[in-house]
Amino acid sequence: MATIRDVAKLANVSTATVSRVINSNGYVNDETKKRVKDAIQQLNYLPNDVARSLFKGRSKMIALFVPDITNPFFPELARAVEDVTNQYDYTFVLCNTDNDIEKQMDYLNALQQKSVDGFIIVSSTIKKEHLQHIQVPIVALDRIISSDISSVTVNNRSGSRQVVQYLKSIGCQRIAHVAGPEHVDNAIYRMRGYLDEVKEEAWFNSSYVVSGKYNFDAAREAAMALLSELPEVDGIFAGNDLMGAGVLNAAASLGKNVPGDLAVAGFDGIAIGETLTPTLTTMAQPIYEIGAKAAEILMTHIQSLEHHVTAKEYSVKLIERQSTMKGGF
Amino acid sequence: MATIRDVAKLANVSTATVSRVINSNGYVNDETKKRVKDAIQQLNYLPNDVARSLFKGRSKMIALFVPDITNPFFPELARAVEDVTNQYDYTFVLCNTDNDIEKQMDYLNALQQKSVDGFIIVSSTIKKEHLQHIQVPIVALDRIISSDISSVTVNNRSGSRQVVQYLKSIGCQRIAHVAGPEHVDNAIYRMRGYLDEVKEEAWFNSSYVVSGKYNFDAAREAAMALLSELPEVDGIFAGNDLMGAGVLNAAASLGKNVPGDLAVAGFDGIAIGETLTPTLTTMAQPIYEIGAKAAEILMTHIQSLEHHVTAKEYSVKLIERQSTMKGGF
DNA sequence: GTGAAAGCGCTAACAC
DNA sequence: GTGTTAGCGCTTTCAC
């Protein structure tokens, strides 16, 4: 690989001049500029980013922490972040954390040693204290970390209320909830939204809420038990789509017709909802948008070196599909 | 951030000694080693990886190119690669290429400027010529680039033959194929495997093969047309699971019972196959394993600086599910 | 308008 | 065993 010195030599100038040319910085005579550009071309010269990073103390890299990229909610988020990252000529580092605090701390350190310029973090275990030693901007995504860290989220609670209202509106009389993990804030908001709408109902009691841990299998099991125990349930709001799929599968196994006997709605709006049979009604997040927004905010923080906290909350939107279309399916 | 000089000063030694301690390199008196370690602790010192990279010309980063992480085949692959990467104390860079050759070239250049130590590439557009200027090891994954580049793949052709044989064995008389894109080598192998098994059949003609482009919607449309035109089809081998899901959906729309009227099998073994109704029979790749293997091979190449080409082919395995279980479902 | 030189933080000869 | 020193390739004052 050619270096700046090779270029300088070939163009008969100093390295400073070459640097000025490649960075369009300071005055350079048009004549010499051309000589330098020719030399660059001829040598196929590309500046060494590592040397630049060392000098500048910044690397033009940002990192995204997700619990697990194989969870179908995250790829779209990652895609959005990568697209924006790339658009700003930054490099995108992906870290699967499994929500393990130690793993996250290791990543934070390792990446700081690499002068990573910022972090976008989806985590339900990282707290403000864990980030005290981080010198670069951070944006929390999907889940809030603390009020002094910028965040991008959705209206989980009111969105969930809307789902339940919708289920009522199509005629459901007994609506159960398959909830996400208790230690994940958005799962709690979704459950609260559900409770807001049902806690005053005469029929309601706590056995209408079961735990599905945000995954397919657990939700399937939970729904099997729930539907056996409370056969009068005619509507289920699953805290995410993956659990919604589990509920559909459980219903099929029990010979329950969806949506005839049972209406099912999920939350998130991930792509697989459309591939299921019946297709799954869901309260959709603008997943790509929130990912892209988080990246944009991070870029703003990085470039201004200013830390004005912004907390953006997007609205979710109901997408009606076969799993609740009592008339049409 | 403290530097090696701060540590040296505090411990009353030279930077060379500190370097020896942090790299467990060369002889250092136990006494002074302790002093250095204390100083490191006290200052919370972490070596600057950028400076190291500049000196060494290597960055301890590797990059994975995938067409699009939102395609459900890739997250598991990415997860595997990241796990291995992390285990070797490397940093993982993810690039969505959309199979766009220009984007891929840009990434290659940008990452070379960052001294990335190696690439794992899933691409149907990159050819050997595009990689001529790359100085670091490359491993091709899922799709072969050229015979002198290490690769990890599966037996697409014989695996596909097995799927068709299996469909015959459960009684299918007219088996159609929804094929992937013509410019993707593994899609071609899968189609050939299918043809190997049916081209001598009296009933066979080319209208039994339709194109589904490896995606849900195209496959759904193709299957709708196919099933309308050739109602005698009682078995479909879809070139991947995403298209298998499309076929299932099409069948449901047409009121065809799966597996009663029509058996459906896919290829890949991605997780959503289990969430469908009926669940989808598939010829499963060991996705995580092949991703991990590719990463291991890359690490070997990186560490030995030797370029012994290895081409590993894994075997796929049939997973029988409801979409073909004529008896049980 | 251009060049000389210092320095980003580290490692590895090479001395002693 | 430990220190001195010369870079890795770049950017940026500060001269001229």
Confirm if B241 and B133 have CB atoms less than 8 A apart: no
Q: What is the mean pLDDT of chain B?
A: 96
pTM of the model as a whole: 0.96
Answer yes or no: do B229 and B150 share one domain: no
Q: Is the Cβ–Cβ distance between A295 and A80 less than 8 Å?
A: yes
In a domain, B327, yes or no: no
Residues with CB under 7 A from strand C: A 12-17, 20, 26-29, 31-33, 51, 54-55, 57; B 1, 3-5, 15-16, 19, 22-23, 25, 47-48, 51-52, 54-56
**Which pLDDT score, from 0 to 100, does residue A326 have?**
76
Give pLDDT, residue A1. Answer: 87
CATH classification of the domain holding A39 = 1.10.260.40
B328 belongs to a structural domain: no
Q: Do residues B87 and B19 both lie within one domain?
A: no
**Burial class for A73, CB neighbours closer than 10 Å (0-12, 13-18, 19+):** buried
Q: Is residue A123 one of the residues assigned to a domain? A: yes
Cβ distance of B135 and A51 shorter than 8 Å? no
Q: Which domain holds residue A40?
A: 4-47
Task: Give the nearest chain B residue to A134 (CA atoms).
Answer: B1
User: Residue B326 has what pLDDT?
Assistant: 76
Residue B232, domain CATH: 3.40.50.2300
Same domain (yes/no): B111, B131: yes
List all residues 6 or more positions away from A310 whose beta carbon is below 8 Å from its beta carbon: A150, A297
* Predicted pLDDT of residue B305: 62
Looking at the fold, whether B296 and B280 belong to one and the same domain comes out as no
- Would you tell me which residues 161-190 of chain A have a C-beta closer than 8 angstroms to some C-beta of chain B? none
Asked if residue B141 belongs to a domain, the reply is yes
DSSP A12: T
- Give the whole-angstrom CA distance, residue A148 versus residue A150: 7
Contact criterion met (CB below 8 Å) for B155 and B114 = no
> Is residue B55 included in any domain, yes or no?
no
Q: Are residues A149 and A170 in the same domain?
A: no
**Side chain identity at B108, as an amino acid letter?**
L
Burial (CB count within 10 angstroms: exposed 0-12, middle 13-18, buried 19+), residue B305: exposed
**A281-284 sheet: strands from edge to edge:** A209-211, A175-179, A235-238, A263-268, A281-284, A317-319
Are residues A182 and A163 part of one domain?
A: yes
Shared domain for B150 and B164, answered yes or no, is no
Nucleotide nearest to B14 (CA to C1'): D3
Buried b (16+ CB within 10 A) or exposed e, A175-197: bbbbbbbeebebbbbbbebbbeb
Question: Quick one: pLDDT at residue B327?
Answer: 63
Residue whose token pair is 């290895």: B310
Has residue B326 been placed in a domain?
no
- A146 with A42, same domain: the answer is no
Confidence of residue B329 (pLDDT cuts 50, 70, 90): very low
Chain C: positions less than 7 Å from a protein CB are 1-5, 7-13
Residues A149 and A292 placed together within one structural domain of the fold: yes
Per-residue pLDDT of chain A in tens (329 residues, 90 and over written 9): 899 999 999 999 999 999 999 999 989 999 999 999 999 999 999 999 999 999 999 999 999 999 999 999 999 999 999 999 999 999 999 999 999 999 999 999 999 999 999 999 999 999 999 999 999 999 999 999 999 999 999 999 999 999 999 999 999 999 999 999 999 999 999 999 999 999 999 999 999 999 999 999 999 999 999 999 999 999 999 999 999 999 999 999 999 999 999 999 999 999 999 999 899 999 999 999 999 999 999 999 999 866 789 999 999 999 999 999 976 54
Q: Is A253 on the interface with B (CB under 8 A)?
A: no
Let me know whether B101 and B160 are in one domain.
no
CA A208 to C1' C2, in angstroms, rounded, equals 78
Chain segment B28-60, per-residue pLDDT in tens: 999 999 999 999 999 999 999 999 999 999 999
B211 and B294 assigned to the same domain: no
Q: Which nucleotide is nearest to A15 (CA to C1')?
A: C3
Pairing of strands A317-319, A281-284: antiparallel
Which residues, 6+ apart, have CB-to-CB distance to A42 below 8 Å? A10
Same domain, A189 and A266: yes
In a domain, B22, yes or no: yes
Structural domains of chain B, count:
3
CA B149 to chain centroid: 16
Residue B205 domain flag: yes
